Amino acid sequence: CPLHSVPLFPPVATSPLRVASRPMAAPALLSAPPPPPPMEEDGLTSHVAPTPTPPPSKRGFLRGRPPIRVTSEFDSERQLFSHRISCRVLNGLAKLRLRVHHGAAGGAPTPEVALMGRNFSAVVDTASRGAVLRGTADLAGSLHLSAAHNTKCTSYII
């Protein structure tokens, strides 16, 4: 069944044999001109333009804060839930991400915090008490360098 367009206004019957569409509105050029500016007491028009009011804020109380993205996934093979909260920071140069995994068996979730940019990332895994630092660079267009460093914390500093 093909899609049919539905008119915004139903047709107006002018005679039993002839159907015409609704009359169109008058163009803006034929409408009345806007009223003149208000006159001051001495008969001259005001030379000071009114100051425009600023537009209302679209985000209200979240003004100045980056938008937050929340995603949840379920891995049916491993019976594992994964929840991710991320937002752009540093004027869009990097992304801050918090990832939490937990299984159907319960237990404490293991959070993972990451700060990712175009050429650098730092991922901290609190369960293994380690971090992975990665960096990349392009030299002369044909040479691509990448480096990774895995660190592990063996004791807490208090």
> Taking the complete model, does pTM exceed 0.85, yes or no?
no
Q: Measure the CA–CA gap between 66 and 69, rounded to whole angstroms.
A: 10
Domain ranges of the chain: 65-152
Instruction: Decide: helix, strand or coil at residue 109.
Output: strand
Lowest mean pLDDT among 97-106, 133-142, 143-152: 97-106
Lowest mean pLDDT among 55-64, 81-90, 109-118: 55-64
Q: For the segment 109-147, what is each residue's pLDDT rounded down to a tens digit?
A: 778 888 888 888 888 887 788 888 899 988 887 888 899
Q: Measure the CA–CA gap between 69 and 83, rounded to whole angstroms.
A: 11
| Per-residue confidence band for 152, with pLDDT thresholds at 50, 70 and 90 | confident
| Per-residue confidence band for 57, with pLDDT thresholds at 50, 70 and 90 | low
- If we measure between CA atoms, which residue out of 93, 137, 89 comes closest to residue 113? 89
User: Can you say how many angstroms the Cα of residue 5 is from the centroid of all Cα atoms in its chain?
Assistant: 33
Q: Which two tokens stand for residue 29?
A: 């050029």
CA angle in degrees (0–180, nearest 5) for 120-156-148:
20
Residue 16 pLDDT > 70: no
Q: Where are the alpha helices (DSSP H) in the chain?
A: none
| Per-residue confidence band for 31, with pLDDT thresholds at 50, 70 and 90 | low
pLDDT of residue 7: 47
